Structure 1
Amino acid sequence: MDVVEHVFRLESTWDGGRNDSGKIKCGQLNTAVSIPKEMNGPGIGTNPDEMLLGAAATCYIISLATMLEYSKIKASLSLQSEGIVHTSNNIYTYKKIIHNITIFLQEDLDKNVRIAEKLAYKAEQSCMISKALRGNVEIIINCSIKK
């Protein structure tokens, strides 16, 4: 089996100390970054917590969409995700990500419901970002299917 290596490059700059801000650029991503206000930062642009949640959510929804397509199930998806960060003694730990996925099936078949629900959980197991987080961040899937 041939191995293909994909390389992603990110450039970043930072102006000052902890409560200042920086910029990142990686492909189509080009934004300001800082510590969020919730963590006593300036809240400029995005932050690592949002970006980790965004990476996990987009990887998950793309994985699920791909699996549904390969299974010939036509559906639309809606995802709301939450990232839970615990703080103890000024140490921040990303503990949990909760994905609340709604699958809107175009065909009202019991078989499609069963397959779609199974794939909602399987997509989290195969998502590259979920795999990278496994053992460190708990990922929970709540699935709702609408016909």
Structure 2
Amino acid sequence: MPFLTETDYEVQIRNWIRQIIIQRKEDVQHQAELAAQAEMESYLRQRYNVAAIFSAAGADRNALIIMYMVDIAIYHLHANSAGDVIPELRIIRYNAAKEWLKAVAKGDISPDLPEKPDKEEGGEGTGSQVIEFGSNPKYSERY
């Protein structure tokens, strides 16, 4: 079952415009959604349980994930239809989505998403063991 619904697009793009850019081919929209989801997962996978995030349905879905996934999907749809004339708004929103995902991946932003389980809990490990590198201060032995 797809993560996004038709009503998710209504907030950010008019239905008749969406129909024009998908050329009335629902499989084109589905492919753009899959690409957007894969792009988001690549940023979120390190810290969050992406299977739980994208298997949620209805009101259980995170509103920011929906918004940014729609932004990314619409950007890809515009790039598919006429890559050289992507509206400026779509480029700005796509870049904002990428910046948000980068900040989440770095840990600067902590959205309300299910975190990846630790190894001790029977899930896959996050590799969160901290290793510090360094050395002692340099001393001179010259007199």
Q: Same fold (TM over 0.5)?
A: no
- If the length of structure 2 is used for normalisation, what is the TM-score? 0.29
User: When you count helix as a share of all residues, which structure comes out higher?
Assistant: 2
